């Protein structure tokens, strides 16, 4: 996940400068708890309070996405920090030129398991050498907010399908990927994503003959197994930073948060003690055979001191989960929580009515900014207006407006209803444009 957060902007989402209440009963009801969120550089990060989960977002300083850990034993004390890991780490000093050239001295060998028993010996450098050729560094920009960031991706096919986290590309209007294997950079487009599972699939334009990752089976993992990760820690490029650890738990659940005050429930995760860092978001987590068994997505820090804090636990989406999403996207199956293709865009930034009372509406999304040249501007929406409905469906909050818009396609025409600053009820037919993933 990128280590930098993308500055918030009018992206049909709640204004990130205003604190938003939990979106549903699964999100934390207390905010802050002394926990700092770091989000990845690329997209617009939708975080949640509590833990820094490493998620990539356009240039905000996307660090690890800190998430409030809610593992099997319900550790919701505020002491754990899970963050999305983007570009906040440092490159490994034993590799150079962006391509692994020698064994990674200093990379931890198989650590002791939670039971205090050393796992079978694992050559971490050999595992890293198998994984690194299929690593891509992802850079994202947000043309509406001048934000951007960088994180990591996993090359799945020779013609350029790359797996990463949804939070890495969330809010991005421009995406590029640089191959660690040879330094080539490609423009990329979003093929689809699943925000609930924090998975996205992008396609490198004009790519061919790329080295690909060996995909393993996460269902074969057991507590105590050694795992190895690699990625763009710190977001500075260069040689991938390699981390190693053991599996501490399976099927874990966390609440991930970012600097915008948002939170997201992630479940079914692999929990390790690998020292994942900002920028690792979207990077591969491999088993002892060098097969990818997870996609790094978040890290917990007991005492966060910034995106490079150490003593972290890492969380990864099992590769089986990720590949199921990939298969659905490639099949064009836009259903459930999976979105395929471009994202519809209205072009407003909003907050809940309760945060900026309008005096004319008791529900809706108060517009705080309108993107120049957007469908919203063309319809006559302006700051201070309160959006109350889309195609007759009531808008109950800023988050609800975004959820309604994302159900449409670019080119769809919808009726937007609002109350203007004078208290007059207005509506207009609006043709939605193509906008950033969200």
Supply the residues annotated as catalytic.
167, 198, 281
By residue count, the chain amounts to: 438
- CB 176 within 8 Å of CB 206: no
Question: CA triplet 337, 341, 347: central angle to 5 degrees?
Answer: 90
For residue 55, the tally of other CB atoms under 10 A from its CB is: 47
SS3 content of the chain, % helix, strand, coil (to 5): 10, 35, 55
Strands 135-142 and 292-301: unpaired
Contact 62, 153 (CB under 8 A): no
Q: Which of 413, 437, 416, 414 is nearest to 427 (CA)?
A: 416
Q: Torsions phi, psi of 62, nearest 5?
A: -65, 100
Q: What is the 3-state secondary structure (H, E, C) of 64-81?
A: CCEEEECCCCCCCCCCCC
CB atoms within 10 A of CB 407: 13
Residue for token pair 């201070």: 384
Within a 10 A sphere around the Cβ of 78, how many other Cβ atoms?
A: 17
Which positions ≥6 away from 129 have C-beta within 8 Å?
Answer: 100, 290
Q: What does the block give as tokens for 400?
A: 């609800």
Give the strand pairing for 348-352 and 13-14.
parallel
- Identify which of 254, 334, 260 has the alpha carbon closest to the alpha carbon of residue 297: 254
**117 vs 311: CA distance, rounded Å:** 20
DSSP secondary-structure letter at 62?
Answer: B
């Amino acid at each position: 996940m990128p280590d930098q957060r993308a500055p918030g902007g009018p992206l049909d989402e709640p204004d990130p400068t205003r604190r938003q209440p939990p979106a549903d009963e699964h999100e934390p009801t207390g905010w802050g708890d002394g926990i700092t969120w770091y989000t990845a550089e690329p997209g617009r990060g939708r975080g949640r309070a509590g833990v820094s989960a490493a998620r990539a977002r356009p240039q905000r300083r996307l660090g690890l996405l800190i998430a409030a850990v809610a593992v099997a034993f319900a550790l919701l004390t505020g002491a754990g920090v899970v963050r999305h890991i983007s570009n906040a780490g440092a490159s490994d000093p034993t590799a150079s030129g962006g391509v692994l050239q020698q064994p990674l001295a200093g990379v931890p060998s198989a650590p002791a398991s939670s039971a205090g028993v050393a796992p079978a010996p694992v050559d971490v450098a050999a595992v890293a050498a198998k994984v690194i050729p299929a690593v891509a560094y992802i850079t994202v920009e947000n043309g509406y907010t001048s934000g951007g960031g960088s994180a990591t991706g996993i090359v799945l096919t020779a013609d350029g399908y790359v797996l990463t986290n949804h939070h890495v590309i969330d809010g991005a209007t421009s995406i590029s990927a640089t191959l660690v294997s040879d330094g080539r950079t490609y423009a990329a487009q979003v093929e689809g994503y699943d925000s609930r599972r924090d998975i996205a699939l992008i396609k490198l334009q004009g790519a061919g003959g790329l080295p690909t990752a060996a995909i393993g089976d996460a269902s074969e993992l057991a507590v105590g197994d050694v795992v190895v990760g690699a990625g763009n820690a710190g977001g500075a490029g260069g040689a991938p930073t390699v981390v190693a650890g053991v599996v501490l738990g399976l099927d874990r659940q966390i609440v991930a948060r970012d600097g915008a005050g948002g939170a997201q429930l992630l479940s079914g995760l692999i929990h390790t003690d690998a020292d994942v860092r900002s920028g690792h978001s979207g990077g591969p987590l491999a088993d002892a055979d060098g097969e990818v068994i997870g996609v790094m997505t978040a890290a917990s820090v007991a005492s966060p001191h910034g995106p490079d804090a150490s003593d972290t636990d890492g969380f990864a989406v099992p590769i089986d989960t990720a590949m199921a999403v990939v298969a659905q996207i490639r099949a064009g199956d836009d259903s459930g929580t999976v979105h395929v293709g471009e994202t519809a865009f209205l072009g407003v930034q909003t907050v809940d009515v309760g945060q900026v009372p309008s005096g004319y509406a008791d529900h809706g999304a108060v517009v705080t900014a309108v993107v120049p040249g957007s469908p919203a501007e063309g319809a006559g929406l302006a700051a201070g207006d309160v959006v109350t409905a889309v195609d007759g469906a009531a808008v109950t909050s800023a988050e609800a407006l975004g959820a309604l818009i994302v159900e449409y396609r670019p080119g769809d025409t919808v009726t937007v209803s609002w109350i203007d600053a004078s208290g007059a009820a207005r509506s207009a037919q609006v043709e939605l444009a193509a906008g950033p993933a969200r």
